[in-house]
Structure 1
Amino acid sequence: MADRGPSIMVAKQGHPLLRDRAAGLSPAAAQRLDEATTALSRNELSAAEASLLSVLDQAPDCVEARRLQGLVKQLRGDHAQAVAILRQALALSPDHALIHMNLGISLHAGGEPDAALASLQRACKLATDFAPAWFNLGRVLSMQGRPAGAVTALHRVLDIDPDHIEARIMLAEAQARLGALEPASANYREVLRRQPGHADAWIGLTHLPAVRFDKDDVAWLQQALQLSQTPQARVSLGFALSRALEDQADYRGAFRALYKANSQKRRLVGWNAAVARAKVSTMLDVFATPLSGAPDAALGEQVIFLVSLPQSGADATAQILAARPQVGAVDVLPDLQQVVGAESRRRGQPFAQWARAATAADWARLGQDYLARTAQAREGKPRFVDANPLNWRLAGAALAMLPGARVVNSRGDALETSFACYRQLFDSGNEFSYDLDHIASYWRDYDRLCRHWQRLFPQRFLDHVHESSQADPEARVRRLLAFCGFEYDPACLAIHCPQPIARSAPYGSELNRLRMLLGAA
């Protein structure tokens, strides 16, 4: 889901919360408050701030001026100051729903998710018919990985304001995450009925596996691409057009649209394949031989790291592991990278410069730090899965600080994985995926480093090859479970994903360059 960020401003001025906000002010102060509101609408933050200071000089207890002051701080990115000012405003008016809403937004941006939800829920309780409060509650619930709660809140938005397009898009995204694909598709289609060129709705439909586009969709997309669009919208529409043409079996046209959309996206992101390659080479040098890691060989035995490239079948592996009763959470966790980053900042050196100088005690300390950060993920179970795919870069560090951990590399076919990345418009990250040369370079970096980890840690690093597991699923699942210390359960075969679709085959010669780059021609 694209991270649009919570809604700061509110759109419709007819609600009672948005009227008579200058009540009790002198004409001069009311004029300055109006000037501040106008400046905010134009994103002229300095002018707004000056006008608000003038209002507060004349009326120190003006709740609306305090609220807007907090809003200015929030828009500047000063979340702590925004929270402090909004709490001052609440002290003057404890049951002001709009202030509770703004406070919830600031708390979320400042990294206080529980307090943010409490404030937003309070805003919704105080103003049950105020769509922006429900919208921001739904947005924050979505961002916190709570799609069921988000669906409830966003339905409430649409009950109040059926024309709220962004809420309908967000609702469809949340429904898709819950597996409610038909309602998600219906909501995307409703957006397109109202706004036929809406790029987020088109790209959202491409993420629903059961959706099939028809010739009318192709015509609408081609027409939308003839209109003035933002660069990102043009990219989204291009990816959607490629998918629609693919559904018409026009693979040549689909590849042309895909190539154009990827080229446009590449200009919007920064990726340097040479820098990425150098980082992998440095990691190979640092871990040319095993480091003297934490002395306790059992430290971290509760951790299974699941690493992969995008679009490589890792979801199937995660489902098998998640089904084991010993496993708590299976989640994409940032903690390994955060532990290494924090130690680099403490030492004032990049990882490559301090890794070989670190003592066994240092690695043990870092391992304990990681376990403390991830304690909640265990959910009272003996094991948990850290499914951050990017941890393939840091597997050596992970096993130095946690010698008892296991790393499962969910490896897909080189061509299918690479082309699947090229077909996918990612919400964020994966900047390598918008150029065939970059994809091939990234695959080679991943391949050589993961093969090195397997040679260095043969008992702790497993290649779980997705396509091979389809040829002999029982043997591969047995091997995976045994590696992780689990007994075999035949039920795991029912969980195992069906044969992956070979997306590359119909494209024939269009992918010859990618085959050549991967050495698979």
Structure 2
Amino acid sequence: MSSPATGQLPPHRFEPNLAGLTPAALQHLQAAAHAIRDGAEEAARRALDATLALTPAHPEALRLYGLLHSRAQRHADARNALQQAIAQWPDYALAHSDLGNAQQAAGELDAAFASWREACTLAPDAPMPWFNLGRNLQQHGDTHAAIEALQRAHVLAPGFLPALILLGDALVHAGRFDEADASYRAALALHPACGDAWRGLANIKTRPLSAADRERLGAALRQPGLAVADRIAMGFALGKLCEDHGLYEAAFVALNEANTRLRQLAPWHAGAFHAHVEAMLAASARLPTATHAALGHEVIFIVGLPRSGSTLFEQVLAAHAEVEGASELPDLEQVLSEESARRRQPLLQWMSAATTDDWQRLGLRYLELTARWRLSRPRHTDKLPSNWLLGGVLGAMLPGACIVDVRRDPLEAGWSCYKQQFYRLPHFACTLTDIAAYIGDYQRVMAIWQAAAPRRIRIQHYEALLADPAHEIRELLAFCGLPFDPACLDYHRATRNVRTASAAQVRQPLQRDTTRAGHYGARLDPLRFGLGMPTIR
């Protein structure tokens, strides 16, 4: 749930290498850099060609060509240009770092990490290679190594806010909450209106912020000239803080204002999404029957609404000796995007034309990309809530996979979504009416697919776990084909990294008092009405 933080790096030798450029070539190169920044590809290409005409095969011009190709998603061309630059200047750390980015975009993750680590070796006193390495380690689930790299970046550049913020995030995911708190507060000492720092503190949900924090946050929000992103993040943090202090009217006002600003950045269109859902249902009905029914048995998908307990159920499963908790993985989306790029068609256009062999190939590609999660345990979870929309696709692609559809009281789940800032925009959670519409589409689709494949899809109710955890956990394990493991009953003792906003909550014993919506009365009537529930007003 993290967003990129902002900040300035001090001047350092991890910079473009301009040695050997004539004044005219340098002028062309600077023009190319500006054009790449502004997205003007043709202007950038002309400027780079002019640079290379004056200084043939100059590594910095080749590096910028690599960046230009990367922006246009020409991954092979980007790699070639960057590798040519490195062939001439093998110790050019910046080119190695950029090569890692290009390799990652091409799906060559092992090569990418080798390039990022090489950049750190070549420029060990530069903060940016360590920051890049730490950021990518964190994104790919290696939280402990990410912490070490981000700590190194912070030591080298104490005033670099992004390193402090991402270090705080990584420490939260590792369950090191005192250190995370200190990292976020160090960022606030540098920039009291740092929205990402307030977001991080508020997301340690088991530690309510203090009245003094409320005063500081309010003062920061009154500063003139705040960046929109900071104002939005601080608004969500203020809403959480006010709710924790029982100030429900103030909480609703703060959250409503933050969501309004967030929606203005990228409005969600419920009607368009509903049409997309209908098209997905129709296309899924025409998918072929898989011939290898066990393909994907290694995977347990956890889907549903955000903020419905999916991280809790993943933590239960990850406590099992046979299951690795992988959290929210991008790999399924990557596989489908790769196929769309290969066919030059969006998913909905090629779904019905794909054969059984095609879907098997895509399933094997997913298992290849996720193999790192099964190095020590034979099975892994994939907990991206929005994968519910691909329930039909998964039946053709990974028919042996289990799908756990986590359900929570829709009013509580919907209100919890409204309180959480989501960074992937547009998002349905910015208005109560859009939330209700999204819930309706989700529940209707999953009911259809669960009725068609009850052995593959389990509807798991959060409230049922609260009422009888031992029974529900045994039933869940049995559905997944797992023998009972008593460690699953003590899931909160598991030491795995948790990379979601619930990282603190799932490290506590089961909390039965999780209802909050009732405090807001008629303010939530638009959500109640959309859900078909009686309104209060």
User: Structure 2, unaligned stretches of length 5 or more?
Assistant: 493-508
In structure 2, the residue matched to 1:177 is 173
Q: Supply the distance in 2 between the matched residues of 1:482 and 1:365 (Cα, whole angstroms).
A: 31
Q: CA deviation at 1:446?
A: 1.4
In structure 2, the residue matched to 1:33 is 26
Q: Kindly tell me: are residues 99 and 520 of structure 1, through their superposed partners in 2, closer, same or farther at Cα, counting changes over 3 Å?
A: same
Deviates more, 1:255-264 or 1:230-239: 230-239
Q: CA deviation at 1:205?
A: 1.4
- Structure possessing the higher radius of gyration over alpha carbons: 1
Q: Supply the distance in 2 between the matched residues of 1:221 and 1:483 (Cα, whole angstroms).
A: 46
Structure 2 counterparts to residues 303-314 of structure 1, below 5 A: 303-314=299-310
Which has the bigger relative contact order, CA under 8 A and spacing at least 6? 2
Structure 2 counterparts to residues 105-124 of structure 1, below 5 A: 105-124=101-120
**CA contact under 8 A between 2:299 and 2:402: conserved in structure 1?**
yes
SS at 1:304 equivalent:
strand
Instruction: Give the share of equivalent positions with the same residue, in percent.
Output: 39
Structure 2 counterparts to residues 140-151 of structure 1, below 5 A: 140-151=136-147
| Matched residue type, 2:249 | R
Please, which of 272, 275, 281 is the counterpart of residue 275 of structure 1? Answer: 272
**CA contact under 8 A between 2:270 and 2:437: conserved in structure 1?**
yes
Q: Kindly tell me: are residues 316 and 83 of structure 1, through their superposed partners in 2, closer, same or farther at Cα, counting changes over 3 Å?
A: same
In structure 2, the residue matched to 1:229 is 226
**CA contact under 8 A between 2:315 and 2:325: conserved in structure 1?**
no
Deviates more, 1:485-494 or 1:262-271: 485-494
Q: Does 1:250 align with 2:247?
A: yes
In structure 1, the residue matched to 2:515 is 502
Deviations 1:376-416 (A, max 9, x none): 24447554433332232232332345544432211111111
In structure 2, the residue matched to 1:96 is 92
Q: Supply the distance in 1 between the matched residues of 2:103 and 2:334 (Cα, whole angstroms).
A: 22
Q: Does 1:238 align with 2:235?
A: yes
Q: How large is the Cα RMSD of the aligned pairs?
A: 3.4
Please, which of 239, 248, 258 is the counterpart of residue 261 of structure 1? Answer: 258
Q: Kindly tell me: are residues 110 and 471 of structure 1, through their superposed partners in 2, closer, same or farther at Cα, counting changes over 3 Å?
A: same
Provide the TM-score with structure 1 as the length reference.
Answer: 0.85
Q: CA deviation at 1:142?
A: 2.4
| Matched residue type, 1:261 | A
User: Structure 1, unaligned stretches of length 5 or more?
Assistant: none
**CA contact under 8 A between 1:197 and 1:220: conserved in structure 2?**
no
Provide the TM-score with structure 2 as the length reference.
Answer: 0.83
Paired residue total: 510
Deviates more, 1:66-75 or 1:218-227: 66-75
SS at 1:204 equivalent:
helix
In structure 2, the residue matched to 1:164 is 160
| Matched residue type, 1:245 | C
**CA contact under 8 A between 1:252 and 1:510: conserved in structure 2?**
no
In structure 1, the residue matched to 2:476 is 480
Q: Kindly tell me: are residues 90 and 249 of structure 1, through their superposed partners in 2, closer, same or farther at Cα, counting changes over 3 Å?
A: same
Q: Does 1:211 align with 2:204?
A: no
Q: CA deviation at 1:31?
A: 5.3
Q: Supply the distance in 2 between the matched residues of 1:357 and 1:64 (Cα, whole angstroms).
A: 45
Q: Does 1:128 align with 2:121?
A: no
| Matched residue type, 2:524 | L
Q: Does 1:458 align with 2:454?
A: yes
Deviates more, 1:380-389 or 1:169-178: 380-389
Q: CA deviation at 1:63?
A: 4.1
**CA contact under 8 A between 1:321 and 1:327: conserved in structure 2?**
yes
Please, which of 358, 367, 373 is the counterpart of residue 374 of structure 1? Answer: 367
Deviations 1:341-364 (A, max 9, x none): 677788888767777787xxx336
SS at 1:374 equivalent:
helix
Q: Supply the distance in 2 between the matched residues of 1:67 and 1:344 (Cα, whole angstroms).
A: 29
**CA contact under 8 A between 1:416 and 1:503: conserved in structure 2?**
yes
**CA contact under 8 A between 1:108 and 1:140: conserved in structure 2?**
no
In structure 1, the residue matched to 2:431 is 435
Q: Supply the distance in 1 between the matched residues of 2:70 and 2:387 (Cα, whole angstroms).
A: 33
Deviates more, 1:65-74 or 1:38-47: 38-47
Q: CA deviation at 1:163?
A: 1.2
Deviations 1:249-275 (A, max 9, x none): 211011011111111111212322122
Q: Kindly tell me: are residues 440 and 90 of structure 1, through their superposed partners in 2, closer, same or farther at Cα, counting changes over 3 Å?
A: same
**CA contact under 8 A between 1:33 and 1:52: conserved in structure 2?**
no
